[in-house]
């Protein structure tokens, strides 16, 4: 358990360093986590590390009391029963609609066929966006490099997460629309939020002060 008696789910990848920096600033020693790339569970400090997309699963199930993950994950997994406590402000990215530079093939497909093909790791976010803007889209869910899909003709456009836009530009893609700006968020298990209210409130106060 952490010094506050909480188990904390920390995301690996792009958000990990910011998350550990935050925990350090709260008085939680993350040196063991930083020194062990492969180890996942750190009982002494109450930290469990995992993919950002798994954080809501562990927090909802109560395997972790609180967790840190991206707003994009929470938007895609909106059915998860977790409390979003605080916008942590780091890890800023943008969910964008992008396609090959030049003529907008997606717009052309909409004009000719009434539907466009979209590759994405975010099918639910994408569907909601296109429904809200009155466009019909055939969603192709991909797990790997989304940028490849429009280059090979699999789709006309993609919905993806970008921090700097560099990968898009390097692959000859341009941003057509910005769908949402996302940052790291602190979430809590609803039961833990009641049973460990004092500890979570204290942590939240420290986060806001930091």
pTM: 0.93
Given a cut of 70, the residues of the chain with pLDDT beneath it are 1-3
Which DSSP state fits 54?
G
Per-domain residue ranges of the chain:
8-91+183-209, 93-181
**Cβ atoms of 12 and 51 closer than 8 Å:** yes
Which pLDDT does position 210 carry in this prediction?
A: 82
* Span 123-158, pLDDT tens digits: 999 999 999 999 999 999 999 999 999 999 999 999
Position 4 scores a pLDDT of 73
> How far apart (Å, rounded) are the C-alpha atoms in residues 4 and 23?
11
Can 8-91+183-209 and 93-181 be said to share one CATH topology? yes
- What is the CATH topology of the domain spanning 93-181? D-Maltodextrin-Binding Protein; domain 2 (3.40.190)
Q: Classify domain 8-91+183-209 by CATH number.
A: 3.40.190.10
């Amino acid at each position: 358990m952490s010094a506050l008696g909480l188990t904390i789910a920390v995301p690996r990848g792009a958000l990990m360093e910011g998350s550990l920096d935050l925990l350090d600033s709260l008085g939680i020693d993350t040196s063991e986590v930083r020194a062990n790339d492969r180890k996942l569970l750190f009982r002494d400090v109450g930290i469990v590390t995992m993919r950002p997309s798994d954080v809501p699963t562990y927090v909802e199930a109560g395997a972790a009391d609180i967790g840190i993950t991206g707003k994009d994950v929470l938007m895609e997994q909106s059915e998860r029963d977790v409390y979003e406590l605080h916008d942590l402000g780091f890890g800023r990215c943008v969910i964008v609609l992008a396609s090959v530079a030049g003529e907008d093939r997606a717009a052309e497909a909409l004009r000719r066929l009434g539907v466009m093909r979209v590759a994405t790791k975010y099918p639910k976010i994408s569907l909601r966006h296109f429904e809200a803007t009155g466009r019909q889209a055939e969603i192709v869910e991909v797990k790997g490099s989304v940028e490849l899909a429009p280059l090979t003709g699999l789709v006309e456009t993609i919905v993806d997460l970008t921090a700097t836009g560099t990968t898009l530009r390097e692959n000859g893609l341009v941003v057509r629309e910005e769908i949402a700006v996302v940052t790291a968020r602190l979430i809590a298990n609803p039961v833990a939020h009641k049973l460990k209210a004092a500890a979570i409130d204290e942590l939240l106060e420290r986060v806001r002060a930091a």
